Structure 1
Amino acid sequence: MTERTITSKEIVNAFRFRHATKEFDPTRTISDDDFNTILEAARLSPSSCGYEAWKFLVVQNREFREELKEISWGAQGQLPTASHFVIILARTMEDTKYDSDYVRNQMINVQGYPEEVFEQIKGSYKAFQEEGLKLLENERTMLDWAGKQTYIALANMMTVAAMLGIDSCPIEGFDLEKVQQLLAEKDLLEGGKLAVSVMVAFGYRAGEPKREKRRKLMEEIVQWIE
């Protein structure tokens, strides 16, 4: 069996196809195979130091979505109509600090480093967090760093969805404190080890975009240094 090669034109067309879908066709559901492919794109995404400091909540419960809708002004059209709705969480400083139990488990049991090797490279993580990016100045700085990683996964999920002909919409329009509180009440934050980063909805558009996609010219945003 010959594997099919994706062409450059198909990749660009997928990016042209993708738009921030405000309302989906509620009668259409993404297949399990396709949505698992989208989740696999998230799982295989790169992250700083290989920490994978994220978690993905797939919210299919309609009552839960209604609760979210009350405190997510930017998801009023998506929450009731999306085939799948995902809240992406970032790990807090308790887990992402270089000497945490989470990091030790991630490096030894997930990445497969021998314990003695981990002990050697832990010093590099310490220097990176303390001196390189000065991440340990406060908990918010560390959370913002972890949040940056979640956006890599977010972008990969949306790109893969577009290549499958599936629409999406990234969502930052929500009351952070209230969403955080709601998830804490439902015991979804692992006792404070997770925090809300961003949301994203997936489905099939109810109608075509009202505006043509517009972007700056390549020469306006790219500078070659040779």
Structure 2
Amino acid sequence: MERVLIIGNSGGIGSALESALRARGSEVTGLSRSQDGFDVTDEAAVAEGMARLDGEFDLIFIATGALEIGGAGPEKTVKAISAEAMADQMALNVIGPALVMRHAFDLMPRNRRSVFAALSARVGSIGDNRLGGWISYRASKAALNQVIHTGAIELARSHKQGVCVALHPGTVRTAFTEKYLGRHPSVAAEDAAQNLLGVLDGLTPEQNGGFYDWAGKPVPW
């Protein structure tokens, strides 16, 4: 039976992914701040929570993240940059997943395929940035992509069949995005979960260290 760990399973995408995985017979363990006190920005809480886990996981998926923290929304201009708001973005969107990664590779099997994936965003792509704005969020996701790519190099040394990737889920209708959807095409969290599962199921070790969208297409760094 496939064993899955979802970090942030109480959020829109995380909960939809958990439901989809359980529906197909996977054994799912979820950790979140609201349900378990698993705060990815707290190094001690991450270490304690990960240490309580038993066995190996075929998939470890990080679904945490935020576009707006403490009422500070995405900047429209560099003049709106705030040190506190940027630090909050980095703590949740970059440092949190990195702290989880610090412990996660030890929970992944070395004798078969396994996947470590984190939700990133297309706006974190430097090569795809044509509009500007959203500086702190963009920077945090670009930094997350670097963490994932670097972690993938290390994973390949110990887990020959391992895959470590960043995933862009598309624009998903959740509490996370409701204020910013506008006229952008969007999908329900349940549809996004199915799309992501389709990508995850098809990943191979040759794609280790990549950045892919909800359709499995590479996203520019």
TM-score by length of 1: 0.29
Q: Which has the higher helix share?
A: 1
Greater RCO (CA < 8 Å, at least 6 residues apart): 1
Which structure is larger by alpha-carbon Rg, 1 or 2? 1
